[in-house]
């Protein structure tokens, strides 16, 4: 049976070609003799284009063809039915092109070919060719011709083998009889849409019952063949067995669901990174860890996620990533801080593995996870701080033990020696002298014990006896306490601070700190220069800084800076200097979580700065 292509190859050599041109400016029409033969009569050379279109049965389609010529400025082709000047119906193939001046079309021209015989022949053969195509019976997939009511008209061998029925058994049933009930409604719904002309074809996965009652999954593709008048003739169905694929797909879905359940139970965010394009796909948990939704996180690029990493952590994070990309390690892992939606930073563990590489050994695809480790890192940092505190306390305890061992041994040894001498001495005057020496040693021992007790108070106290203190009032109270000493020293004191600054602090510690720093300024003043003391306070975002500055003797920091806050360290040879004041100040400040620093120059003066951390109100 000849195909459409063979028919056209037979008919085309016999065709004659009409040539025409319509000038849209002058209205003049040109056509050759073949055109007149096709129209069966003489055409008016000045007939309007609209009048010419009236010869066509589908005038709207012809107008659309000329509209497309203007729109595309290209060649348009169409087959149309005309009524000749003698009233006969013919099919013609029209090819049209336009001439343009700028955007304006000035003329149409083209060809016209009588294709009545070809169209009639093709229409006659179309139904027969589609129904009896020789490949139908030998197709490797199941094929069937089904009536508009669902009955089987023709079934190929592949379909019979697939469902286990003979052709005779098929023809006694409709496709509904073999369809799984859960898939029937959708199948019928799409079939009716096809019959109503709402869709041209449809495709679906559905289940059929095999003759032995087991279920077969198939991929069904359906199209509808209509008659020349547009009425439905039959459905062409293609049926491919996908049972094995469905089994593997369902198993994969179960595995995926199992993995999803594991991920949900561990609260881990997952990501997939296409490295060359920087595109990234994340699950909802990845964004939720940082308080976002996936839409809020911004463009789906890894660069967006990297920008959420704390600036101080980005460099080491990139370095570890590059180390993985160089294939030095199989897995990339990084612990870093990332910015939450509320602006705060939290600790996140990022892990990943490159699963695809280019031929040039470049990373292409990476899979990974985000995990919230903020609580663990906070505990680690708290443990680290605790260990540092313990280490510091152990150091101070060891130092304290050395002090106790040295100082008490010196005092007790000296007193023991004097007592031994006192027992052996016969001269009363010498005995009295030794008794005075014992009294002096006992007094020194008492003072040493007092100092050691003060150290124990500072190092052993938690320092949590907090109270709200107006800093200015406390400074004024301390200056009032020292007023006689300041007056005797001829000192001038200037206080520059906001009277509203309030801190939360241990009142006894604050009093001790201010007394020690101001009395040090008095003790170590320049004898030939009037003492000036300046006390200032500055409020910062999370702390308050107080500075006590004087123009006294100053300290050679290069020589004594590392020993400045040591116990029993003195630097100016004052008789009343004990080297305990600054040691206590430093311990008291640090016990409250603050810091103390000093700037000093010999012969110029000294400035002590204390930062009261996180106690601002």
Per-residue model confidence as pLDDT tens digits over 159-184: 999 999 998 888 888 888 889 999 99
Q: How far is CA 513 from CA 78, 504, 523, in A?
A: 102, 15, 15
Q: What's the pLDDT at 364?
A: 92
Confidence of residue 449 (pLDDT cuts 50, 70, 90): low
Q: Euclidean distance between the first and final Cα of the chain, in Å?
A: 99
Per-residue model confidence as pLDDT tens digits over 49-69: 777 788 898 999 989 998 999
Per-residue model confidence as pLDDT tens digits over 458-516: 555 544 567 888 999 888 888 877 777 888 888 999 999 998 898 888 777 787 788 88
Confidence of residue 577 (pLDDT cuts 50, 70, 90): very low
Confidence of residue 423 (pLDDT cuts 50, 70, 90): confident
Confidence of residue 441 (pLDDT cuts 50, 70, 90): low
544 neighbors 615 (Cβ within 8 angstroms): yes
Confidence of residue 259 (pLDDT cuts 50, 70, 90): low
Q: How far is CA 114 from CA 55, 89, 186, 356, 533, in A?
A: 14, 11, 46, 61, 116
Q: Residue 295 carries which DSSP code?
A: T
Confidence of residue 30 (pLDDT cuts 50, 70, 90): confident
DSSP H or E run through 122: helix 116-131
Q: What's the pLDDT at 262?
A: 65
Q: How far apart are CA 35 and CA 53, in angstroms?
A: 14
133 or 484, which is more confident: 484
- The length of the chain is 617
Confidence of residue 12 (pLDDT cuts 50, 70, 90): very low
Segment 212-234 mean pLDDT: 90
DSSP H or E run through 590: helix 581-591
Lowest mean pLDDT across 94-108, 568-582, 597-611: 568-582
Lowest mean pLDDT across 119-123, 221-225, 272-276: 119-123
Lowest mean pLDDT across 134-143, 294-303, 514-523: 134-143
Q: What's the pLDDT at 615?
A: 45
Phi, psi of 45 (to 5 degrees): -65, -20
Residue 236 β-bridge partners: 145, 223
Q: What's the pLDDT at 392?
A: 63
pLDDT, the chain, mean:
81
Q: What's the pLDDT at 126?
A: 64
Residue 547 β-bridge partners: 536, 609
352 or 8, which is more confident: 352
Alpha helix segments (H runs only) across 12-56? 33-39, 49-53
Q: What's the pLDDT at 129?
A: 63
pLDDT at 420 > cutoff 90:
no
Segment 143-162 mean pLDDT: 88
Per-residue model confidence as pLDDT tens digits over 325-346: 999 888 999 899 999 999 999 9
With a pLDDT cut of 90, the percent of the chain lying above it is 23
Q: How far apart are CA 383 and CA 379, in angstroms?
A: 6
Lowest mean pLDDT across 219-233, 245-259, 310-324: 245-259
Q: How far is CA 140 from CA 156, 161, 216, 362, in A?
A: 9, 11, 17, 43
Q: Residue 62 contacts by C-beta under 8 Å, 6 or more apart in sequence?
A: 53, 56, 78, 80, 94
| DSSP assignments along 341-402, one per residue | TTS-EEEEEEEEEEEEE-TTS-EEEEEEEEEE-HHHHHHHHHHHHHHHHHHHHHHHHHHHHH
pLDDT at 299 > cutoff 70:
yes
Lowest mean pLDDT across 75-89, 130-144, 202-216: 130-144
Tokens representing 521? 């300024």
Confidence of residue 201 (pLDDT cuts 50, 70, 90): very high
79 neighbors 115 (Cβ within 8 angstroms): yes
286 or 267, which is more confident: 286
Q: What's the pLDDT at 363?
A: 93
- Taking phi over 0 as left and psi of -120 to 50 as alpha, with beta for the rest, 477 belongs to alpha
Q: What's the pLDDT at 397?
A: 59
Per-residue model confidence as pLDDT tens digits over 346-396: 999 999 999 899 998 999 999 988 888 888 888 888 888 888 777 766 655
Q: What's the pLDDT at 533?
A: 92
Strands (E), 390-491: 467-470
b/e for 134-149, b at 16 or more Cβ within 10 A? Answer: eebeeeeebbbbbeee
- The count of other CB atoms within 10 Å of the CB of residue 71 is 11
465 or 17, which is more confident: 17
- Taking phi over 0 as left and psi of -120 to 50 as alpha, with beta for the rest, 316 belongs to alpha
pLDDT at 569 > cutoff 50:
no
Q: What's the pLDDT at 617?
A: 36
33 or 96, which is more confident: 96
Segment 578-594 mean pLDDT: 74
pLDDT at 194 > cutoff 70:
yes
pLDDT at 11 > cutoff 60:
no
Q: What's the pLDDT at 344?
A: 92
3-state percent breakdown (helix, strand, coil) of the chain, nearest 5? 45, 30, 30
With a pLDDT cut of 70, the percent of the chain lying above it is 81
333: helix, coil or strand? strand
Strands (E), 210-268: 215-226, 232-241
Q: What's the pLDDT at 10?
A: 45
């Amino acid at each position: 049976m000849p195909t459409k292509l063979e028919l056209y190859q037979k008919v085309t050599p016999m065709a004659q070609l009409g040539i025409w041109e319509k000038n849209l400016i002058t209205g003049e029409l040109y056509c050759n003799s073949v055109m007149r033969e096709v129209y069966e009569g003489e055409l008016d050379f000045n007939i309007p284009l609209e009048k010419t279109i009236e010869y066509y049965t589908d005038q709207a389609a012809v107008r659309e063809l000329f509209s497309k010529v203007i729109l595309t400025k290209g060649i348009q082709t169409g087959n149309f039915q005309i009524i000749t000047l003698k009233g006969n119906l013919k099919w013609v193939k029209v090819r049209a092109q336009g001439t343009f001046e700028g955007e304006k079309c000035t003329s149409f021209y083209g060809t016209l070919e009588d294709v009545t015989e070809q169209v009639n022949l093709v229409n006659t053969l179309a139904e027969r060719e589609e129904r009896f195509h020789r490949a139908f019976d030998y197709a490797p997939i199941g094929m069937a011709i089904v009536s508009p009511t669902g009955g089987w008209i023709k079934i190929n061998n592949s379909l019979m083998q697939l469902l286990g029925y003979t052709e005779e058994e098929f023809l006694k049933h409709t496709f509904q009889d073999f369809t799984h009930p859960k898939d029937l409604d959708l199948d019928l719904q799409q079939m009716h849409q096809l019959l109503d002309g709402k869709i041209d074809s449809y495709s679906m996965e559905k289940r059929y019952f095999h003759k032995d009652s087991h279920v077969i999954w198939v991929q069904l593709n359906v199209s509808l063949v209509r008659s020349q008048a547009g009425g439905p003739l039959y459905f062409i169905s293609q049926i491919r067995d996908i049972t094995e694929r469905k089994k593997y797909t369902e198993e994969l879905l179960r595995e995926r669901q199992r993995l999803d359940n594991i991920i949900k139970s561990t609260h881990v965010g997952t990501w997939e990174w296409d490295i060359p394009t920087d595109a990234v796909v994340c699950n909802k948990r990845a964004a939720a860890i940082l308080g976002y939704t996936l839409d809020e996180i911004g463009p789906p690029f890894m660069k967006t996620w990297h920008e959420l990493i704390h600036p101080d952590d980005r460099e080491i994070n990139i370095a570890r990533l590059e180390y993985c990309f160089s294939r030095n390690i199989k897995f990339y892992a990084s612990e870093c801080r990332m910015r939450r939606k509320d602006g705060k930073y939290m600790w996140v563990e990022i892990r990943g593995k490159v699963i695809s590489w280019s031929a040039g050994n470049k990373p292409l695809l990476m899979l990974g996870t985000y995990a919230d480790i903020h609580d663990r890192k906070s505990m680690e940092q708290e443990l680290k701080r605790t260990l540092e505190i313990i280490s510091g306390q152990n150091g101070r305890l060891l130092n304290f033990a050395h002090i106790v061992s040295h100082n008490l041994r010196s005092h007790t040894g000296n007193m023991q020696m004097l007592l031994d001498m006192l027992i052996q001495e016969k001269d009363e005057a010498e005995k009295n002298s030794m008794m005075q020496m014992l009294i002096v040693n006992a007094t020194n021992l008492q003072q040493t014990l007092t100092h050691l007790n003060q150290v124990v108070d500072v190092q052993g106290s938690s320092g949590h006896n907090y109270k709200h203190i107006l800093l200015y009032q406390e400074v004024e109270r301390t200056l009032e306490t020292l007023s006689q000493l300041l007056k005797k020293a001829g000192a001038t004191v200037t206080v520059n601070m906001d009277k509203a600054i309030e801190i939360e602090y241990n009142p006894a510690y604050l009093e001790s700190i201010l007394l020690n720093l101001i009395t040090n300024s008095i003790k170590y003043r320049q004898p030939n220069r009037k003492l000036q003391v300046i006390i200032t306070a500055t409020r910062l975002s999370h702390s308050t800084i107080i500075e006590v500055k004087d123009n006294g003797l100053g300290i050679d920091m290069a020589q004594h800076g590392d020993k400045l806050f040591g116990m029993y360290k003195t630097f100016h040879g004052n008789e009343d200097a004990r080297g305990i004041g600054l040691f206590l100040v430093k311990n008291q400040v640090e016990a409250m979580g603050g810091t103390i620093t000093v700037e000093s120059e010999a012969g110029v003066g000294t400035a002590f700065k204390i930062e009261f951390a996180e106690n601002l109100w």
